[in-house]
Amino acid sequence: MLNDLHSIKKSVQEEAEKAESLQDIQNLKIRYLGKKGLLTGKIKTLSSIPKEQRPEYGRSLNEIKNFTEELLDSKEKAFKASELDTSLQTQQIDVTVPGCYTPSGRLHPVTQVLNEIIGIFVSLGFSVEEGPEIELDYYNFEALNFPKDHPARDMQDTFFISDDVVLRTHTSSVQVRVMEKNSPPLRVIAPGKVYRCDADVSHIPMFHQLEGFMVDRHIRMSDLKGMLELFIHRVFGPETSLRFRPSFFPFTEPSAEIDISCVMCKGAGCNVCSGTGWIEILGAGMINPRVYESAGYDPDVYTGFAFGLGIERVAMLKYEINDIRLFPENDKRFLEQF
């Protein structure tokens, strides 16, 4: 019986020696040590060995089992190591192969400028509101003190949907909507698309504006001035000067148009500023008491300012673009520059 065990040991040794792959070793493990393996079988029959031979037989069996385990484990390890070696050699990575080009998208320049401007006002405590682009004549005109037959309506080339519904011509339409739903103090900006029937190098039928307004007790024109100065300095740099020119808007009294010193020639005069050294940048004023009446606010209690700004205009000045029509064209050669 002991001879039996010794011949098993010998065959393990011989077969392990002949093994050529990891798979061969794994097969040997199953053959000798698996559930139905040769050595496992011997252990199972231990109880049928005569009592007096059992201790010595058991010891030898154990020894051969351990020997087999160790031998096959170390062979397995060796094969694994050499397989790794060959795969490292045959599957070398060439770090000089050019990579795949993954084009990355970016935000439209108008969106970038809009986000920057919104960020500035949010940092000053303004909240952001939106209104509909298809708007009632009431919010776009009537509530802002443009009566139906008022000549000031001609300032804006309106797209009419029906007698009472328009594509909003300015984001000032959001003012009374916000005032109706909230009470002062208000500090609001309303960015968005607006529409006018107009097209040339400096006009497109759909463009972006940002309306801002503040309503509280004791708001003065100097508050408007200080706030706009801070805003312009953040967008165009602290060396930029501002100039308030008297103007007219039905929803502000007094009204002003605000110019900044030309960002190209720094005020010396060039073709961007038509030689004047100044560029018109926004409209503003103190909110007309008529607007508070539309909103149901007491004009004797509250005062406030409003301003409106064209986003494409700011982007054109910032990036030195001379034709506003480039923005909606979506030519990648243009867009990739921002």
The enclosing H or E element of 41 equals: helix 38-44
CB of 306 to ligand DAH, least distance (A): 3
Q: Is 190 left (phi over 0), alpha (psi -120 to 50) or beta?
A: beta
CB atoms within 10 A of CB 34: 15
Of 8-16, 51-59, 283-291, 293-301, which part binds ligand DAH (CB under 6 A)? 283-291
Cα→Cα distances 301→27, 256, 296, Å? 95, 23, 12
Give the residue with the Cβ less far from ligand DAH, 5 or 206: 206
- When asked if residue 252 is in the footprint of ligand DAH (CB under 6 A), the reply is yes
Considering only CA atoms, which of 299, 321, 301, 302 is closest in space to residue 311? Answer: 321
Contact of 158 with 197, CB cutoff 8 Å: yes
Q: Which is nearer to ligand DAH, 211 or 312 (CB)?
A: 211
Helix, strand, coil percentages, rounded to 5, for the chain: 45, 20, 35
135 is a site residue for ligand DAH (CB under 6 A): no
Which is nearer to ligand DAH, 145 or 252 (by Cβ)? 252
Provide the 3-class DSSP secondary structure of residue 150. Answer: coil
Residues within window 262-281 making contact with ligand DAH, judged by CB under 6 A: none
Mask: binding to ligand DAH, 298-317, rule CB under 6 A, as x and -? --------xxx---------
Q: In the numeric block, which tokens belong to residue 311?
A: 């986003």
Contact between 173 and ligand DAH per CB under 6 A: no
> Does 284 interact with ligand DAH (rule: CB under 6 A)?
yes
Scan residues 141-170 and list those touching ligand DAH (CB under 6 A). Answer: 170
For ligand DAH, give the closer residue by CB, 184 or 283.
283
C-beta of 37 vs 254, nearer to ligand DAH = 254
Residue 249 sits in the site that holds ligand DAH (CB under 6 A)? yes
In whole angstroms, what is the distance from residue 262 CA to residue 295 CA?
Answer: 38
Residue 57 φ/ψ, nearest 5 degrees = -60, -45
Region 5-34 residues binding ligand DAH, contact defined as CB under 6 A? none
Interface with ligand DAH, residue 172, by CB under 6 A: yes
32 or 327: CB nearest ligand DAH? 327
Please give the Cα distance from 126 to 121 (Å, whole number).
5
Question: What residue ranges bind ligand DAH (CB under 6 A)?
Answer: 170, 172, 211, 249, 252, 283-285, 306-308
